[in-house]
Amino acid sequence: MKILVCIKQVPDMESKFKLDAAGLWYARTDLAWRMNEYDEYAVEQAVQVKEQFKDADVTVLCIGPEQVKETMKKALAMGCDRGAHIADDEVWAKEPFEVAGVIAEFARGKDFDLIFTGMQSQDRGSGQVGVLVAEMLGMASVSTVVSFAFDGTTVTAKRELEGGVKACINVKTPVLVTCQLGMNTPRYPTLPNIMKAKKKELLSTPVADLLKVDKRQETARMYFPEKKGGGQVLEGDLGEMADRLIKILKEKTAVLS
Amino acid sequence: MKILLVAESREGKVLGGTYELVAFAAKMQAESVMFLVGDEGALPKYDGKLYLAEAKACGEYNPDVHKQLLLEVVAKENPDMIALCHSSYGWDLAPRLAFALGAAQVSEVVGLADGLPVVPVCNAKLRRDVKAKTAKTVVTLQAGAFGLSEEPAGTPSVEKLGGAAAGRVQFTGYEQAAAGGVDLGKASVIVSAGRGIGKPENVAMVAALAKALGGEYGASRPVVDAEWVEHNRQVGTTGQTVAPKLYVACGISGAIQHLAGMKKSEFIVAINTDKDAPIGDVADVLVVADLKQFVPLLTEKIQAL
């Protein structure tokens, strides 16, 4: 059984973002990078399938500059077998159709039974790449999955809908699944597994070898949204802020009267 | 400009996002037609042409079939744009259509800037104006971005679509949210815990503040996913939508899905260490502080009143 899991390296969302010189994306300096949160669930699910079916082989794929290997090593330490690094210093400028095109080109002919991706990235957040990869490969796909079971041929999954409702589905492999938060509990890599991961295969391929599709959209402008304003900002001494807040609540709401 | 609006229905009911699509078409000053997989007995109010496929025959979630039916409508109508809700239905179907049509897809449109769609980046901390380079464009619209779900008037002229081949994904039914427990919809004060609480033990301090204010405590998605708080206390798109007299967001950065669930609250207080967090955009008062220090102190002072 062959499994592919696609991950992305993204900045910590609590970061203080700045625009890059061209004003088309955020500046990639002075940021703490980590695995896209949704992809942690994808990696965990792939590793769980591997633990269920001992003959499964899990490839983790990531597109980006040299630094994304750090994130890939985490996925290897969580239990993926091998890493496929697509070397691309300009990955930030790729739109979802190009990213999906690169992944599909890599996966074509490799007969993956299952492909896992996050349902979206935390930075660009298009939510397109997983489903596009499946369409490009002519594979079935199911998005926004919060519950996953697999018997070797059929996936039984639940999709998360709005308002706490879930849709239950069955689908036969090969299938691509996009993973929603809460799908499982992503494991923390243990120290022995971190050491073992260092010996695992991690091959790089230049993105130019796999990029066969054209850009379908581009960023005209990137900017910070205007602050809606109106809101009062309290800063400084904790006790004074608490007193001021209580005064405001007394004046503006009925909850303390 | 002609836009094909992809309406949504679940269990025979038309979903509110459908009317936001109509509002979007009006804002674009575009001609529109609508597509729905739904029930003939529960049609959306719409003053235009509706292509209807019966959900009983096609399934409410059946992406291969819905795509095929939509491609038939696109072939007949030749729209410049196809608009869907940025919802579990829309974001699942949109890339399939975009691929089949050779179209660019612009996801989660929150507005228009000089005619270009505007989308959020990095949890809405940044925004981008996007230029599609293809003849047709597929867009998904963020809930609430284009007019609230007010029902338009009108009765559509219906053209029925025939059956399609079976899809690869088999829908077997819905699972409803677990009933019982707390009803946040009835609380006049809600104090919610976000990722900023750091560890499960700190739920107690948020609950204590809620009690001091005579309300209930809630939580944002990460706290529920971590199982620190049960799901029936989750506020946001996939949890409950609330509008209490007072909403206090503790350590909640303000993901779009959370904001959608609480921004209609009468008065909003946010307690956050990050002054630039998106929650600040909807807050009436933003307290820049570590909630772990501030919340117990505030609770103590309120109890002493």
Quote the ipTM score: 0.93
Residue B98: per-residue pLDDT: 98
B95 with A182: Cβ contact below 8 A: no
Residue A53: per-residue pLDDT: 94
Q: Tell whether the model's pLDDT for residue A230 goes beyond 70.
A: no
What is the average per-residue pLDDT within A49-72?
97
Whether A126 and chain B come into contact, CB under 8 Å, resolves to yes
How far apart are alpha carbons B147 and B14 in whole angstroms? Answer: 17
- Band (A60; pLDDT cuts 50, 70, 90): very high
Q: Which of A97, A126, A255 sits opposite B213 (nearest CB)?
A: A255
How far apart are alpha carbons A170 and A155 in whole angstroms? Answer: 6
Q: Tell whether the model's pLDDT for residue A257 goes beyond 80.
A: no
How far apart are alpha carbons A63 and A49 in whole angstroms? Answer: 24
B215 to each of A173, A200, B179, B226, B247, how far by Cα in Å?
A: 48, 53, 20, 23, 10
- Band (B108; pLDDT cuts 50, 70, 90): very high
- Exposed, middle or buried by CB within 10 Å (0-12, 13-18, 19+), for A56? middle
| Edge-first strand listing for the sheet containing A140-150 | A202-206, A82-87, A57-64, A2-7, A114-118, A175-179, A140-150, A154-160, A166-172, B170-175
Whether B29 and chain A come into contact, CB under 8 Å, resolves to no
A118 neighbors A36 (Cβ within 8 angstroms): yes
- How many CB contacts within 8 angstroms connect chain A with chain B? 247
B57 to each of B53, B60, B71, B94, how far by Cα in Å?
A: 8, 9, 18, 21
B45 neighbors B38 (Cβ within 8 angstroms): no
Q: In what helix (H) or strand (E) does residue A33 lie, and over which residues does it extend? A: strand A33-35
B109 to each of A30, A38, A111, how far by Cα in Å?
A: 29, 21, 35
Highest mean pLDDT among A8-22, A133-147, B114-128: A133-147
Which position has the higher pLDDT, B261 or B165? B261
Residue B257: per-residue pLDDT: 87
Q: Which of B95, B116, B245 sits opposite A135 (nearest CB)?
A: B95
Q: In what helix (H) or strand (E) does residue A122 lie, and over which residues does it extend? A: none
What is the average per-residue pLDDT within A148-163?
95
Comparing A30-39, A62-71, B7-16, the range with the smallest average pLDDT is B7-16
What is the average per-residue pLDDT within B33-45?
95
**B chain contacts of residue A141, beta-carbon cutoff 8 Å:** 63
pLDDT in tens, A4-46: 999 999 999 988 899 999 999 999 999 999 999 999 999 999 9
B188 with A217: Cβ contact below 8 A: no
- Band (A254; pLDDT cuts 50, 70, 90): confident
**B chain contacts of residue A104, beta-carbon cutoff 8 Å:** none
- Band (B12; pLDDT cuts 50, 70, 90): confident
B229 to each of B209, B219, B263, how far by Cα in Å?
A: 16, 7, 21
Residue of A12, A162, A173, A233 to mutate when probing chain B, most B C-beta within 10 A: A162
What is the average per-residue pLDDT within B129-153?
88
Closest alpha carbon within chain A to B298: A242
Q: Which of B10, B169, B281 sits opposite A140 (nearest CB)?
A: B169
Whether A215 and chain B come into contact, CB under 8 Å, resolves to yes
Comparing A162-166, A208-212, B201-205, B209-213, the range with the smallest average pLDDT is A162-166
Which position has the higher pLDDT, B54 or B182? B54
Establish whether the linkage from the previous residue to A174 is cis, with ω within 30° of 0: yes
Which two tokens mark B48? 């235009």
Q: Which of B96, B133, B288 sits opposite A234 (nearest CB)?
A: B288
Q: In what helix (H) or strand (E) does residue A72 lie, and over which residues does it extend? A: helix A68-78
pLDDT, mean over chain B = 93
Which two tokens mark A124? 């660009």
Whether B245 and chain A come into contact, CB under 8 Å, resolves to yes
pLDDT, mean over chain A = 96
pTM of the shown model: 0.91
Residue A226: per-residue pLDDT: 81
Residue B210: per-residue pLDDT: 96
Radius of gyration of chain B (CA): 22
Which two tokens mark B199? 């560890």
Residue B143: per-residue pLDDT: 86
pLDDT in tens, B208-253: 999 999 999 999 999 998 889 988 899 998 888 899 999 999 999 9
The Cα diameter of chain B in Å comes to 70
What is the average per-residue pLDDT within A152-156?
97
**A chain contacts of residue B225, beta-carbon cutoff 8 Å:** 181-182
Comparing A36-45, A87-96, B81-90, B181-190, the range with the smallest average pLDDT is B181-190
Closest alpha carbon within chain A to B135: A216
What is the average per-residue pLDDT within A139-159?
97
Domains of chain A in start order, with CATH, are 2-209 (3.40.50.620)
Q: Tell whether the model's pLDDT for residue B263 goes beyond 60.
A: yes
Residue B180: per-residue pLDDT: 67
What is the average per-residue pLDDT within B51-79?
95
A95 neighbors A218 (Cβ within 8 angstroms): yes
**A chain contacts of residue B215, beta-carbon cutoff 8 Å:** 255
- Band (A229; pLDDT cuts 50, 70, 90): low
Q: Map chain B to HEC letters.
A: CEEEEECCEECCEECCHHHHHHHHHHHCCCEEEEEEEECCCCCCCCCCEEEEEEHHHHCCCCHHHHHHHHHHHHHHHCCCEEEEECCCCHHHHHHHHHHHHCCEEEEEECEEECCEEEEEECCCCEEEEEEECCCCEEEEECCCCCCCCCCCCCCCEEEECCCCCCCCCEEEEEECCCCCCCCHHHCCEEEEECHHHCCHHHHHHHHHHHHHCCCEEEECHHHHHCCCCCHHHEECCCCECCCCCEEEEECCCCCHHHHHHHCCCCEEEEEECCCCCCHHHHCCEEEECCHHHHHHHHHHHHHCC
